[in-house]
Amino acid sequence: MLNSEREAFDKLVNDTVEAETLSPLQGRHRQRWLRIKEIDTALKAITALHAGRKQAKHETPYHETDEWKALVYEGNLLEEIERTYALQRDWPVWQEGQHFTYLDTSNNEESLREGEVISFDLEADTIECSTWPLHDFHGYVGSPGSRKFHTVTIAQIDAAVTFQERLEAARRHEQAQINLVKDKERLPLFADQMVSTNEPPSPTLLPKMA
C-alpha cells in the first residue's frame, strides 16, 4: 500500500469511528464481525478453488483479481475499525489471533487458561476465542483436539491479573517461610528472635493452576 493509500485508509477508519461514536447503533460491532467472517470464508473458498490448479498462460492470478483485492480491502478496513475502537477503549485485546490469559471458573474452581482471539464484541464486553490450559504446548501450537471454543468476558481477563498477583504473593510467602526455617537451622541460638517479614497472602492457600 502506497503512503497516499495508507493515509486515505487511516482517514477513512478514523472518520468512520468518529461518526459512529456520535451516532451509536446497537449490534453494529457484531454485524461487522459477521461480515469479517463472511469475507474470510470467501477468501478461503477462492484459495481452495485454485489450489493445485494450473494457471492458464494469460490468466490473471486469483490473488490479483479485482474480486480478491476488494474482499481483502474490505476485510482489512473492517478489522482496522474494530481494532481502533478497542485501542481507544483501552481493551486488553484488539485484534484477531492475539493471545491472552483469563480466569476460568467453569468447574467450580479457579484456574488460568490461555485464549486466542477469533472476534470480540465491544458492546457485550465479550471475546469469542479458542482456549487451552495455561502453558500447554499442544494448545499453544493448535494441535488437533487441544483447544476448545469459548466466549470469555473482559471481567475474566481482569480477574486473571488479580489471580496472578495473588499467586505471586502466595509464592513469596512460601519462599519466606522456607528461608526462615533455613535461617533458624543455621543460627539456632537466634531462632526465637527470627520472624518472617512476609505477611501471608489472602487467602493463605496457594491458588491452583490449570
**pLDDT, tens digit, 9 for 90 and up, residues 61-100:** 888 999 999 999 999 999 999 999 999 988 999 988 999 9
Residue type at 202 in one-letter notation: S
Closest to 28 in 3D by CA, of 64, 36, 10: 36
**Nearest Cα residue to 82 out of 145, 127, 144, 133:** 127
pLDDT at 45 over 80: yes
Low-confidence winner among 37-41, 94-98, 184-188 (lowest mean pLDDT)? 184-188
Would you tell me how many other CB atoms lie within 10 Å of the CB of residue 59?
Answer: 11
- Lowest mean per-residue pLDDT among 35-44, 71-80, 101-110, 146-155: 101-110
All three cell numbers of 16 = 468512520
pTM strictly above 0.75: no
Selected residue with higher pLDDT from 24 and 199: 24
Q: What is the pLDDT of residue 203?
A: 46
| CA–CA distances in Å: residue 9 to residues 3, 24, 95 | 10, 22, 18
The answer to whether the beta carbons of residues 110 and 117 sit under 8 Å apart is no
186 or 161, greater pLDDT: 161
Average pLDDT over the chain, rounded to an integer: 86
**Among 117-126, 172-181, 199-208, the least confident range:** 199-208
Report the pLDDT averaged over residues 106-134: 91
Tell me the pLDDT band of 179, cut-offs 50, 70 and 90: confident
